[in-house]
Structure formats: structure tokens, C-alpha cells
Amino acid sequence: LREQTLVLVKPDAVQRRLVGDVIGRFERRGFKLVAMKLLQVPELQEGRGYVCGYPCIIAPRCHQADRGLLDRHYQHLQQKPFYPALLAYMTSGPLVAMVWEGYNVVRSTRAMVGDTDSAQAAAGTIRGDLSMHVSRNVVHASDSVETALREIGFWFQRDELVAWESGD
């Protein structure tokens, strides 16, 4: 079984240096990391990107968490009153997108992430341990196998997923 899910480590968590904590939890649980990247926010890239100092250009790939990508990812929330605030939050800094693979990974990951509303999230979950408020809830994880397929397609190109043998 090769079930996969999309996990986003949101800008608040990157800023708080929590990326390693989040990754460590999924690794220790036994899931396999098959894709990962740090995405820049185009508005922040302007004038102060590391890119400027190197002889390279931004590759024509999905390395930016831009408005279009977030609109697709959060399509179902666009009519919500909190959507403008959600967009501002999600573009407030770089974020990390990852694909994790494993047995029942979608369901297990949701359980590890905890309730969307951090105040309701159980201790021991990512949100229950690391977050106080729904509008700064540290991570996103796909809510079903179908959603995961769609969301992985928004954030990654096919050749960015790495197939490797983990011995299990």
C-alpha cells in the first residue's frame, strides 16, 4: 500500500523553528518522507532573496506559495469570512511542503496533527503541543485520500516525489 498525504508546515512554525519537531514526529512514527521543499512567498522574495547572490534563476517550478496556489489549495474556504486573514497568514513567510507515505498515513497524520482548533487539540498532538489558536495552527494535513491526491498535485510535480526503499 502506497498511501500518501500532503503536510504543510505553515509560516508561523517555520518562523518558530518548529520544522524539525514536526518532521521528527512523522519520522519516529515510521512514515516515509518522499518529497519536501521550502517555498518562498513571492511578495517577500522581492529584493531580498538569496537567489540574487547566485548565478541562477528561480526555476519554472512550483517553488512559490503564491496566491494562485493557495486559492487552489483552499478552494473550499474562499467564501469564508476568515479567508483573507488565512491568505495573509499563509503568505506571511516561507512554508515547508512535504509528502509522507505509509500505511493509513492520511488518517494517522490527521490524528497526530490534532483538532483544527488548537484550543480543542489534545495534548500530545502537534497542535495540542505547539499551538494555541486556530488561525496559527502550525500545520496542514490532507483530510482524506482523495484530498491528498489533489493537494499533492497542487504542491508538487510528479518528478519531485522520490521513490526509495525503506526496508519495510
Residues taking part in catalysis: 140
Shortest reach from residue 82's CB to ligand CMP, in Å:
4
Please list every residue from 125 through 154 that binds ligand CMP, using CB under 6 A: 134-135, 137, 140
Read off the C-alpha cell for 89: 497568514
The string over 134-147, giving b where at least 16 C-beta atoms fall within 10 Å of a residue's C-beta and e elsewhere, is bebbbbbbbbeeee
Q: How far is the CB of 86 from ligand CMP (least distance, A)?
A: 5
Q: Cα dist. 1→80, 103, 104 in Å?
A: 36, 6, 9
30-59 CB burial, b ≥16 within 10 A, e <16: ebbbbbbbebbbeebbeeeeeeeeeeeeee
Q: With respect to ligand CMP, which residue has the nearer C-beta, 85 or 119?
A: 85
- How many other CB atoms are found less than 10 A from the CB of residue 103? 12
- Whichever of 62 and 134 has its CB closer to ligand CMP, that residue is 134
Q: How far is the CB of 49 from ligand CMP (least distance, A)?
A: 26
Q: In terms of residues, how long is the chain?
A: 168
Binding mask 61-100 for ligand CMP (x = CB under 6 A): ----------------x----x--xx--------------
Contact status, residue 7 vs residue 98, Cβ threshold 8 Å: yes
The distance of closest approach from Cβ of residue 46 to ligand CMP in the complex, given in angstroms and rounded to an integer, is 25
DSSP class of 75? G
| 34 versus 113: smaller Cβ distance to ligand CMP | 113
Q: What residues are designated binding site for ATP?
A: 10, 82, 110, 116, 127, 137
Residues lying near ligand CMP in the complex (CB under 6 A) are found at: 77, 82, 85-86, 116, 134-135, 137, 140
